[in-house]
Amino acid sequence: MKNSTILIVLGVIVLLVGGFVFVNAGDKGINGNVVADDAQRLDSSTQRAVLSQERYNYKDVEIEAGKPAAISADPSVGGCLRSVVFNVNGKRYSKYLKTPQDTLVLPALEKGTYNFACSMGMGYGKLIVK
């Protein structure tokens, strides 16, 4: 009797966890997310910013307000910090910056400080728009 009770309890736990994951995954749909692709075009008004790593976080990055920004990563950035995620004005911008040539283009931003992180939420940084 004990074995069947344990199996039933484990089955219920698996169903609850699976249901939780399934329901929450539906809330994170594509709507409102912008994932960078290689088809992005850079023009002369786009500014460039390079991410660097300092210990387990990104160094702060400064850009100008009112201009789109192409974000790339230098060789000091490693591990999950290469997969960068920005949440800007309700939209999610993310890309895996495998090489220094890979870029994530952000739209023109207003002055302020924008926090960003790696895709795992382990490393953080600040994008300072002046």
Same domain, 38 and 17: no
Q: How confident is the model at residue 44 (pLDDT cuts 50, 70, 90)?
A: low
96 and 79 Cβ atoms separated by less than 8 Å: no
Residues whose CB falls within 8 Å of the CB of residue 75, separated by 6 or more in sequence, listed in order: 100
If one counts every other C-beta atom within 10 angstroms of the C-beta of residue 45, the result is 9
**What's the domain range around 45?**
34-129
Same domain, 56 and 17: no
Same domain, 26 and 38: no
Task: Say how far residue 78 (Cα) sits from the centre of its chain.
Answer: 15
Residue 44 is encoded by which pair of tokens?
A: 């002369």
pLDDT over threshold 70, residue 89: yes
Q: What is the mean pLDDT of the chain?
A: 82
CA angle 30, 65, 69 (to 5 degrees): 50
Residue 9 is encoded by which pair of tokens?
A: 């309890």
* pLDDT of 32: 39
User: What total of structural domains would you count in the chain?
Assistant: 2
* pLDDT of 9: 73
